[in-house]
Amino acid sequence: MRVLNVELGARSYPIHIGAGLIDRAELFLPHLRSRKLAIVTNEVVGPLYLERLCAGFARVDTGVEIVPIILPDGEAYKEWQTLNTIFDALSSGHCERSSTLIALGGGVVGDMGGFAAACWQRGMPFIQIPTTLLAQVDSSVGGKTAINHPQGKNMIGAFYQPRLVLADTATLDTLPEREFSAGLAEVIKYGLIRDAAFFDWLEQNIDALRALDAGALAWAIERSCRNKAEVVAADETEQGERALLNLGHTFGHAIETGLGYGQWLHGEGVAAGTMMAAELSRHLGWIGGGDVARIERLFERAGLPTYGPALGTSRYLEWMAHDKKVEAGKLRFVLLRGIGQAVITGDVEMSDVRAAIEARCR
């Protein structure tokens, strides 16, 4: 087991990474304020891991009371009605402010469980157990919680940190290949924005990762989480450096919103969106065609799209105008000045943005 820490003073918390951790209930006990737990999961992950998680608690503490909450699966359900399902279950289960909410699942479950925990009685403790690669390396770490709005992804939410993140790498054995590839988009992102050596390593080891090589996988997850933890510790509420983590997301969120939530996976949108950001960086003269080709090859080898759907450039711009990185009415972009060197800028001509979108749509 590898252990990292997100350093946030009194609200610091550990990230445990390893195989078989779901069964180790003793890892959870120091982070519980009471013996009542609400476990939020979905109809796909629940049958795989909920019973095991509950059995682990029964082995170490027979007094633990568990309220299971099963949600429908998919990005399309990341909305108010499903969130209210969690609140109804917390109420009927007599969950208090001292009860702990555990989010067992991928990014949708983690986002919704965390947002529910932030809201219930003005804040209850919560724990993340991410079961997808994307959630293990990105969405479970850092305290971003949200639901979607019809006009924009993750528009309604809160910064609310977990007490513990437990990434059981064995859960990736049951992950569909498409979901695994989607997670690799966020792994590659860390190399692009701030860790050129990691990007080099990924070029050498992407085939081993896709083959679920245990050593390569553990290292990639740890390196990704370490990058994320360092950024979050420096800028918890995204006032500066943390916005770099949104490379590809402005374009990618437009793809997800435009197609309808759930048609493309988040990581697929991020991959195509990152290629648009790379094209825009090339149009500005910040990177060369060789860098663009290198990024494209790695995404392709990861099983990810490098072109977005042809939704119409004007529609892309319309959805991007609702992005959370709009400031004083001006859209800010995360772009590249080199592999491993991302920057945030609002000084971009819309003609260049249009050209980048058109170059990467088909």
| Distance separating alpha carbons of residues 106 and 179, to the nearest angstrom | 10
Any residues with CB less than 8 A from the CB of 329 and at least 6 apart, and which? Answer: none
Question: In the structure encoding, which two tokens stand for residue 305, read together?
Answer: 């799209």
Query: Are the beta carbons of 126 and 163 closer than 8 angstroms?
Result: yes
Any residues with CB less than 8 A from the CB of 252 and at least 6 apart, and which? Answer: 266, 269, 270, 271, 272, 273, 274
Q: Identify the bridge partners of residue 157 per DSSP, sorted by sequence position.
A: 146
Report the catalytic residues.
122, 144, 186, 228, 238, 242, 246, 249, 253, 266
Residue that is written with structure tokens 């770099």 in the block: 244
| Distance separating alpha carbons of residues 264 and 285, to the nearest angstrom | 30
First-to-last C-alpha distance (Å) of the chain: 44
Query: Are the beta carbons of 78 and 112 closer than 8 angstroms?
Result: yes
Task: Measure CA 324 to chain center.
Answer: 16
| Residue ranges in the chain assigned as alpha helix (H) | 46-60, 80-92, 107-119, 133-134, 177-194, 196-210, 214-234, 249-259, 266-283, 289-301, 313-320, 350-359
Query: Are the beta carbons of 238 and 231 closer than 8 angstroms?
Result: no
Residue 337, φ and ψ in degrees, nearest 5: -105, 5
Question: In the structure encoding, which two tokens stand for residue 182, read together?
Answer: 């989607």
Query: Are the beta carbons of 161 and 13 closer than 8 angstroms?
Result: yes
Question: In the structure encoding, which two tokens stand for residue 160, read together?
Answer: 């609310």
